[in-house]
């Protein structure tokens, strides 16, 4: 079974600074997808960014980018120019590329609570 580990329960950053959230995962599969979801106080789960394991290029979405290290099974999220609206829980998630048998469900880490200091 796959596992996702987020070792930072809480992170704090000054507004306009850059912060990196860590995520590691364990899998025996070679083809999979990785995601970062944001959960603000409203509890809505919002997709931030995704990465296909077969792609070497790191995904980028505006101020959000990832550092995907497949060999190290590491998938960190970098948030540049942090804004107050970025304050939230951030969840790293894994999904197998293999369909069926539970493979389509997301496996989540425990989350990192990101605090933005004004």
User: Under the rule (CB under 8 A), what is the footprint of other proteins?
Assistant: 33, 35, 37, 42-47, 50, 52, 91, 95, 97, 99-111
Provide the 8-state DSSP code for 38: E
Cβ closer to other proteins: 13 or 93?
93
- Provide the residue count of the chain: 118
Residue 105 Cβ vs other proteins, minimum distance, rounded to whole Å:
3
Residue 14 Cβ vs other proteins, minimum distance, rounded to whole Å:
28
> What's the CA gap between 107 and 94, in Å, rounded?
5
> SS3 of 15, please?
coil
Cβ closer to other proteins: 55 or 63?
55
> What's the CA gap between 6 and 16, in Å, rounded?
23
Residue 100 Cβ vs other proteins, minimum distance, rounded to whole Å:
6
Which residue shows structure tokens 């796959």? 2
Cβ closer to other proteins: 82 or 96?
96
């Amino acid at each position: 079974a796959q596992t996702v580990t987020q070792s930072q329960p809480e992170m704090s950053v000054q507004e306009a600074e850059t912060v990196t959230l860590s995520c590691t995962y364990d899998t025996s599969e070679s083809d999979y997808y990785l995601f970062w979801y944001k959960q603000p106080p409203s509890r809505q789960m919002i997709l931030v960014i995704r990465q296909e394991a077969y792609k070497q290029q790191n995904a980028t979405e505006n101020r959000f980018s990832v550092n995907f290290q497949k060999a190290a099974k590491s998938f960190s999220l970098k948030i540049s120019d942090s804004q107050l609206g970025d304050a939230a829980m951030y969840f790293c998630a894994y999904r197998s590329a293999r369909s069926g048998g539970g493979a389509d469900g997301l496996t989540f880490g425990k989350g990192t609570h990101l605090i933005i200091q004004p």
